[in-house]
Amino acid sequence: MELFIQQLVAGISTGTIYACVALAVVMIYQAIGHVNFAQGEMAMLSAFLAWQLLEFGIPYWLVFPGTVVGSFVLGMLLERTLMRPLRNAPPLSQVIVFIGLLLVINSVAGYVWSFTVKAFPTPFGTGPFMGSVWISRHQAGMMATTLALLAILYVFFKFSKVGLAMRGAANNAGSARLLGIRVKALEGLGWGMAAAIGSVAGMLIAPVVFLEPNMMAGVLIYGFAGAVLGGLSSPAGAVLGGVLVGVLENLAGTFIPGIGGELKLTLALVTIVLVLVVRPQGLLGRKLVSRV
């Protein structure tokens, strides 16, 4: 029983990282209607930028918000310079651009910082949380940060004019334009928010998996699985899906023979396929109905 509780708590803490990545995926999906395959590499780049600032001697609590703001600006610039000109391009063309962006960021990061594994500090500490043997301070910090992000996004989308406009533009861009909503500007904002959320995920996962250009490869797949499971139209669903995927990964890897190690990644892929077949809108996503 103790092993089960330990793996359950560990799965929840790992799932919060997947939840951050899933949140970023959902933000861009709601903005442009496509999944950003370079989301993990953008988060990795943010983590490297934070590491470089720390190497310059800048305190962590200045580096963290500075990296989030810088990532927000970078996300908006990418949308403005790279994706906006391709707004009316075929979906396959946009997918190819995403894959190209992934390869470029990965190669540039490897060229500038090398592929050597680097240690990344945690602001929460590595000891047990309040003397608990089941959860560390860093794991507790990851969970608290993800919950804070979800609360901020909830307030933003529920009560702010910009958040309500983003929801309207995501549901029906044509009608939003008729109401005077600047859909293009909101798409750039969605990219910026996704990049900022991804930077938080990158800085939180780097102390666990260590910093190197390929560190987000597996995490991105789990994040995709969480986004699909929770619903690509629901930020809250992305968080729920990410946590569920983390718990499933840990429990299956511990208690199901043969699933541990590299085969755990198969669970994420199977989850994606099953959800798309059984419930394409996800657990909390909206079911789209077209009148003919």
| Three-state SS letters, 155-200 | HHHHHCHHHHHHHHHHHCHHHHHHCCCCHHHHHHHHHHHHHHHHHH
Query: What integer is the mean pLDDT of 258-283?
Result: 81
- Asked whether residue 38 is assigned to any structural domain, the reply reads yes
Residue 62 above 90 pLDDT?
Answer: yes
Query: What integer is the mean pLDDT of 180-189?
Result: 84
Categorize the per-residue pLDDT at 175 as very low, low, confident or very high, splitting at 50, 70 and 90: confident
Residue 251 above 70 pLDDT?
Answer: yes
pLDDT (tens digit, 9 = 90+) per residue, 90-135?
Answer: 878 888 888 999 999 999 999 999 999 999 998 888 788 877 767 8
Residue type (1 letter), 130: M
- Pair 223, 40: CB distance under 8 Å: yes
Share of the chain above pLDDT 90, in %: 27
- Asked whether residue 263 is assigned to any structural domain, the reply reads no
CA distance 110 to 116: 9
CA distance 171 to 110: 39
- Asked whether residue 223 is assigned to any structural domain, the reply reads no
Q: Tokens at residue 204, please?
A: 């939180």
- Asked whether residue 37 is assigned to any structural domain, the reply reads yes
Q: What total number of domains does the chain contain?
A: 1
Q: Tokens at residue 158, please?
A: 């529920």
Query: What integer is the mean pLDDT of 191-195?
Result: 90
CA distance 35 to 102: 13
Q: Tokens at residue 151, please?
A: 């609360």
Categorize the per-residue pLDDT at 290 as very low, low, confident or very high, splitting at 50, 70 and 90: low
CA distance 106 to 41: 6
Residue 87 above 90 pLDDT?
Answer: no
Collapsing DSSP states into helix, strand and coil, what is residue 114? coil
pLDDT at 165: 86
CA distance 273 to 179: 38
pLDDT (tens digit, 9 = 90+) per residue, 142-173?
Answer: 888 888 888 888 888 888 888 888 877 777 77
Residue 262 above 80 pLDDT?
Answer: no
Share of the chain above pLDDT 70, in %: 95
Residue 260 above 70 pLDDT?
Answer: no
- Asked whether residue 268 is assigned to any structural domain, the reply reads no
- Pair 246, 238: CB distance under 8 Å: no
- Asked whether residue 275 is assigned to any structural domain, the reply reads no
Segments forming the whole domain that contains residue 104? 2-217
Mean pLDDT over all residues of the chain? Answer: 85
- Asked whether residue 227 is assigned to any structural domain, the reply reads no
Can you say whether the dihedral through the CA atoms of 146, 23, 286, 77 is positive or negative? positive
Query: What integer is the mean pLDDT of 32-48?
Result: 88
Q: What is the DSSP letter of 213?
A: T
CA distance 130 to 138: 12
Residue type (1 letter), 110: G
Residue type (1 letter), 94: Q
- Asked whether residue 292 is assigned to any structural domain, the reply reads no
